[in-house]
């Protein structure tokens, strides 16, 4: 399916140059052809999608307004509740779970005219940086199917990059929208914590989780974010702050931009190709009139340690509910075994290795004798990281870094958990501090005979999505040749 933007598609449908049904048929055909190799989709809803497209076309024919998304085919990450299909969160524990309700973001998107074509794969319960920790197999990168798509929103990024839908909705707890967006060469936005309702998101780290869009363009991300954002009384952490018209804001005439670049953004821990590519991006911003301010940000080095205390602690609490009795995978009962033994076997069979690892880590840091030494100290570090960002943003609009220290790596290459956790070194701090952040395609890196996407990350103050997106739009438009495109372009 040729890649296009949501705005171009909606204009074509409204003008009669195409129909929603034609677009859905093309999308479903592309999924059928490409998904067996990529494993981006967990489940596809062809009959429901075609019926929804027919309703959109009928409304247009009758002169009605079908909504700002007007039949746009969109996929939903497998850990976001939909009444269509299953909500498995990439886990055997929830392999056949069917939600009785739609998440708030799903309600808002479908009300705006979007068509949900399917659920896409993810790392189990959102715990992973590569898409390999999925009970239903790894998702492959459309640019090189020997490589990972990134995680945990692996299917979302792969589907958009391969043209298997116009956009996808993922979740981001420590980089799970931005990392796969970088690895696959698409746009991924993590909103400010509380900007988008979490109602209907399978919880991993409740003080860190965010739902955000993955798209082909900054404008599309702004369109989806505007529709999804806003207060939801069903989510106690949902912000009541006003949501501006992000689409209009993004297109406002440019003003002077000041970007902070940490002195350690170019690091010996990065691939050399990433350092070179990032230097070219910084030079481009500078040459286009952006003021670049080099800053010291030593607390960034504590982000990973802080995250991998807080997130597992919250996961340990959130995943306690999956006991195989109330719901979730239940092991076959054995005569004479106790209820505790049945719990243990059910959880042992239902959870994958990485989820077990994080539950155990979280249980440890919350246990008596270790709570103050680890969990309480991590909470204090979180406050310091938040305050350090606040100080930096007093003198600049946003911070610019690479999204990841490396391009997409080969499937199975990072078997060591610590090696995998290092993928998150640039992304976790935005979740720790509750900021908005995004990954932008910034070119291609030649590596081992493959041309692989490279992404840069913008991090901005809380509720500064409009200015962050405006900076991203200016970059996207000023250097279109730098923007990596998917194989379908």
Question: Could you tell me the residue ranges of all domains in the chain?
Answer: 6-258+400-482, 301-379
Rounded to the nearest angstrom, the gap between the alpha carbon of residue 269 and the centroid of all alpha carbons in its chain is 24
Distance, in Å, from the CA atom of 407 to the CA atom of 183, rounded to the nearest integer, reads 6
Instruction: Give the model confidence (pLDDT) of 395-422 as tens digits.
Output: 999 999 999 999 999 999 998 999 999 9
pLDDT of residue 38: 98
> How far does the chain reach from its first CA to its final CA, in angstroms?
8
Distance, in Å, from the CA atom of 339 to the CA atom of 428, rounded to the nearest integer, reads 38
Q: How confident is the model at residue 227 (pLDDT cuts 50, 70, 90)?
A: very high
pLDDT of residue 244: 80
Q: Tell me: pLDDT of 344 over 70.
A: yes
Q: Tell me: pLDDT of 487 over 50.
A: no
Q: Token pair of 446, please?
A: 């030649």
pLDDT of residue 3: 66
Q: Please state which of the ranges 250-254, 259-263, 360-364, 447-451 shows the lowest mean pLDDT.
A: 250-254
Catalytic sites, residue numbers: 77, 152, 176
Q: Please state which of the ranges 245-249, 379-383, 471-475 shows the lowest mean pLDDT.
A: 245-249
Axis crossing angle, helix 377-393 with helix 303-318, rounded to the nearest 10: 130
CA-to-CA dists, residue 379 to 213, 229, 258, 372, 472, angstroms = 28, 27, 30, 10, 31
- The CATH code for residues 6-258+400-482 is 3.90.1300.10
pLDDT of residue 484: 38
> Looking at residues 120-137, what average pLDDT do you find?
98
Helix (H) and strand (E) counts in the chain: 16, 13
Q: Tell me: pLDDT of 371 over 80.
A: yes
| CB-CB contact of 144 with 452 (8 Å) | yes
Overall pTM > 0.85: yes
> Looking at residues 418-427, what average pLDDT do you find?
96
pLDDT of residue 485: 37
What is the C-alpha R_g of the chain? Answer: 21
Q: Tell me: pLDDT of 12 over 60.
A: yes
CA-to-CA dists, residue 104 to 233, 237, 373, 402, angstroms = 10, 13, 38, 32
């Amino acid at each position: 399916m040729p890649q296009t933007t949501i705005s171009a598609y909606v204009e074509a449908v409204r003008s009669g140059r195409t129909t929603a049904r034609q677009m859905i048929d093309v999308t479903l055909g592309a999924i059928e052809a490409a998904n067996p190799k990529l494993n981006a989709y967990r489940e596809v809803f062809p009959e429901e999608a075609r019926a929804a497209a027919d309703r959109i076309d009928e409304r247009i024919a009758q002169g009605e307004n079908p909504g700002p998304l007007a039949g746009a085919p969109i996929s939903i990450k497998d850990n976001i509740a939909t009444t269509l299909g299953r909500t498995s969160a990439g886990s055997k524990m929830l392999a056949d779970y069917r939600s009785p309700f739609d998440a708030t973001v799903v309600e808002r998107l479908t009300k705006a005219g979007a068509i949900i074509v399917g659920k896409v794969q993810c790392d189990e319960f959102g715990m992973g940086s590569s898409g390999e920790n999925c009970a239903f197999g790894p998702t492959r990168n459309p640019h090189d199917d020997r490589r990972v798509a990134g995680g945990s929103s692996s299917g979302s990024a792969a589907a958009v990059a391969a043209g298997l839908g116009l956009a996808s909705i993922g979740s981001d707890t420590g980089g799970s929208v931005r990392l796969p967006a970088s690895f696959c060469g698409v746009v991924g936005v993590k909103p400010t914590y509380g900007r988008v309702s979490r109602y209907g998101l399978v919880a991993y780290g409740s003080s860190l989780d965010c739902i955000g869009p993955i798209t082909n363009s900054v404008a599309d991300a702004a369109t989806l974010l505007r529709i999804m954002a806003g207060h939801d009384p069903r989510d106690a952490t949902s912000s009541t702050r006003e949501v501006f018209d992000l689409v209009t804001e993004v297109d406002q005439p440019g003003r002077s931009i000041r970007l902070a670049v940490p002195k350690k953004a170019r690091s010996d821990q990065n691939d050399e190709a990433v350092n070179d590519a990032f230097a070219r991006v910084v030079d481009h911003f500078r040459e286009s009139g952006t003021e670049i301010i080099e800053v010291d940000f030593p607390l960034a080095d504590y982000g990973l340690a802080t995250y991998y205390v807080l997130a597992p602690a919250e996961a340990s609490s959130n995943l306690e509910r999956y006991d195989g009795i109330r719901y979730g995978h239940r092991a076959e009962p054995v005569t004479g075994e106790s209820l505790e033994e049945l719990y243990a076997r059910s959880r042992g069979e239902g959870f994958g290795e990485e989820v077990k690892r994080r539950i155990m880590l979280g249980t440890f840091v919350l246990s008596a004798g270790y709570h103050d030494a680890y969990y309480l100290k991590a909470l204090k570090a979180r406050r310091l990281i938040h305050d350090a960002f606040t100080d930096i943003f007093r003198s600049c609009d946003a911070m610019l870094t690479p999204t990841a220290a490396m391009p997409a790596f080969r499937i199975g290459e990072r078997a060591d958990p610590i090696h995998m956790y290092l993928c998150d070194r640039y992304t976790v701090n935005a979740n720790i501090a509750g900021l908005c952040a995004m990954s932008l395609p910034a070119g291609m890196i030649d590596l081992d005979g493959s041309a692989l996407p490279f992404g840069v990350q913008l991090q901005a103050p809380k509720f500064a999505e409009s200015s962050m997106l405006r900076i991203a739009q200016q970059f996207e438009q000023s250097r279109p040749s730098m923007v990596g495109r998917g194989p379908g372009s």
